């Protein structure tokens, strides 16, 4: 009788362990798709090869989707500091970037040397040195209206030490007419958080 109960208990333990292992797994199928996010006039294409289908629902990796929307994702393995849980921080980007048309004063010399050019500058926010926005502008210094596009630009911040990209964000694609002596500019704000989710110290990066 003693041997009989031992066998029953071992069998029960095996069943419980098997059930616990199965609850931590799912069966899903690859679901290659063409994914395009429509944000006003902006179209963002997401890598649909990474998608899966589970219970008739499509799933896309969190990092892939977040970064396509301009956010950054930081992941940390479970530890005592995360209460034994996977820690995922998503840093949502600021307001959408938009191109704005504005008349400009043209330097005669600059107009001859650079009839059309793209520049990047820095603009203070509320006159606070700690809060800066980057200004990207497309300038028409000619006497005629010009039609351009599509122009696709990506704003990047690189480390001055390693030249590695610490932050990047695509600007809306631009196509259209830029009148004579006008410019289209876009303001890009950055909260000094790098693509790794950590703050980038001032003075160690430059916008390109």
Does residue 16 carry a pLDDT above 50? no
pTM of the model: 0.50
More confident of the two residues 21 and 117? 117
pLDDT band at 23 (very low <50, low <70, confident <90, very high): low
More confident of the two residues 122 and 147? 147
- Length of the chain, in residues: 208
Q: Three-class SS of residue 98?
A: coil
> What's the whole-number average pLDDT of the chain?
76
Does residue 207 carry a pLDDT above 90? no
* 43-88 tens-digit pLDDT: 788 888 889 999 999 999 888 888 887 777 878 888 887 888 998 8
Percent of the chain with pLDDT over 70: 74
pLDDT at residue number 71: 79
Does residue 206 carry a pLDDT above 50? no
* 82-105 tens-digit pLDDT: 888 998 888 765 567 889 999 987
Phi, psi for 18 (deg, rounded to 5):
-65, -40
pLDDT at residue number 123: 77
DSSP structure class, residue 160: T
> Could you tell me which of 43, 45, 42 has the C-alpha nearest to residue 97?
42
Three-class HEC string of 115-137 = CEEEEEEEEEECCEEEEEEEEEE
167: CB partners within 8 A, 6+ apart: 72, 156, 157, 190, 193, 194, 195, 200, 205
Please report which helix (H) or strand (E) contains residue 39, including its range: strand 35-39
Strands 87-91 and 100-103: unpaired
């Amino acid at each position: 009788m003693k041997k009989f109960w031992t066998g029953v208990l071992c069998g029960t333990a095996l069943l419980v362990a098997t059930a616990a292992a199965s609850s931590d797994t799912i069966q899903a199928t690859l679901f290659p798709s063409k994914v395009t996010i429509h944000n006003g006039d902006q179209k963002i294409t997401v890598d649909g090869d990474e998608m899966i289908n589970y219970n008739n629902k499509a799933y896309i990796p969190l990092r892939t989707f977040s970064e396509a929307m301009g956010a950054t994702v930081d992941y940390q393995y479970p530890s005592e500091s995360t209460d034994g849980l996977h820690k995922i921080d998503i840093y949502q980007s600021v307001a959408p970037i938009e191109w704005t048309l504005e008349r400009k004063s043209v330097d005669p010399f600059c107009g001859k040397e650079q009839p059309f050019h793209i520049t990047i500058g820095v603009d203070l926010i509320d006159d606070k040195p700690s809060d800066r926005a980057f200004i990207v502008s497309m300038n028409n210094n000619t006497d005629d209206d010009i039609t351009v596009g599509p122009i696709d630009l990506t704003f990047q911040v690189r480390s001055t030490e390693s030249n590695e990209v610490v932050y990047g964000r695509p600007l809306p694609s631009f196509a259209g007419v830029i009148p004579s002596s006008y410019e289209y500019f876009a303001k890009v704000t950055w909260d000094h958080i790098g693509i790794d989710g950590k703050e980038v110290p001032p003075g160690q990066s430059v916008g390109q």
